[in-house]
Amino acid sequence: MTQQSIKSEIRQLLKERNAVLLAHNYMRDEVQEIADITGDSLGLSIEAAKTDADVIVFCGVHFMAESASILSPHKTVLLPRLDAGCPMADMVSVEELKVLKAKLPGVPVVTYVNSSAAVKAESDICCTSANAVKVVRSLSEGELIFAPDKNLGGFVSGFIDKKFHLWEGYCPTHERLKPEVVKELKKNNPDALFICHPECNPAVVALADHVCSTTGMYDYCKKSSAQRFIIGTEAGILYRLRIDNPDKEFILASPALICPNMKLTSLEDILDALQTMQPVVKVPEEIRVPAKRALDRMLAIPRD
């Protein structure tokens, strides 16, 4: 089958199944191209919950499909590649988190949405890379546990005078971007702005002209008068950046910024998932309810 015929069959099956196709910003170009909605992990789950679709096909990694199941328990959530995981999410377990909570009784747990449903269920509140500062500020306590991303937690701690107990987790893909590479790029492209994700190493973040989430990057680059940008996040983001800004140039900060898990899902995988209605990701109620409480507490914080 040609790529175009696969896409046509996917669109037909989506219609027949009353399904919505979600693609994370880091997915392959051809997957983003065919998606009904593209965006960041939690944003996609929120949008999917608003639709009248019976089926959610989530092109992302496992914790993202879990978030969709948490927010849409009555919908069928398909994850085309069940082996698409997240190394950072795997760096924290419920058992380890319980041990730390026992050592720090009464200290609230702020958990990045890049985590399993089970870990969210053990948390007081969740956060995204875009709202982490606001979430931490919303807490009345003077100290907190921040899991699992030490880089994001460290970045947030620079804005708030509270004691942070940082989990020793990180995103291997973002961590591969080295400051010396960024310095060389900036030197060779003095007119380009360097924008990076807060999951990057602190030494890289210190070099940035702007630090923000993936969604923030789309907004920033569109509004900026600059014509050239060095992008410090996963390569998949370039697809939409270039479509939205055809007159601007985007330079990937490093060829190492490719997440193998995000690139697993192919058009063939999506077609197979819709044909077989497998694999299904379903979060059990005993985990879903407390996990949703942590997400709801975050979503209740007023936006700007």
Mean pLDDT of the 244-260 span: 98
For 18, residues 6+ apart whose C-beta sits below 8 A from its C-beta are 52, 53, 54, 55
Task: Characterize the bridge pairing of strands 76-78 and 19-24.
Answer: unpaired
Domain span including residue 187: 177-252
Say if 257 falls within a structural domain: no
141 in the same domain as 75: no
Mean pLDDT of the 138-165 span: 98
291 in the same domain as 165: yes
Residue 60: pLDDT above 80? yes
Residues 98-133 have pLDDT tens digits of 999 999 999 999 999 999 999 999 999 999 999 999
Q: 209, exposed or middle or buried, with CB in 10 Å at 0-12, 13-18, 19+?
A: middle
**pTM score of the predicted model:** 0.95
Q: What CATH number is given to the structural domain containing 187? A: 3.40.50.10800
Say if 56 falls within a structural domain: yes
CA distance 247 to 242: 8
- pLDDT value of position 302: 84
25 in the same domain as 77: yes
228 in the same domain as 181: yes
- Indicate the Cα dihedral angle 136, 178, 30, 90, nearest 10°: -50
Identify the band that residue 304 occupies on the pLDDT scale cut at 50, 70 and 90: low
163 in the same domain as 94: yes
149 in the same domain as 106: yes
275 in the same domain as 222: no
Say if 150 falls within a structural domain: yes
291 in the same domain as 153: yes
Residue 41: pLDDT above 90? no
292 in the same domain as 161: yes
- pLDDT value of position 29: 97
**Number of folded domains that form the chain:** 3
Task: Characterize the bridge pairing of strands 109-112 and 125-127.
Answer: parallel
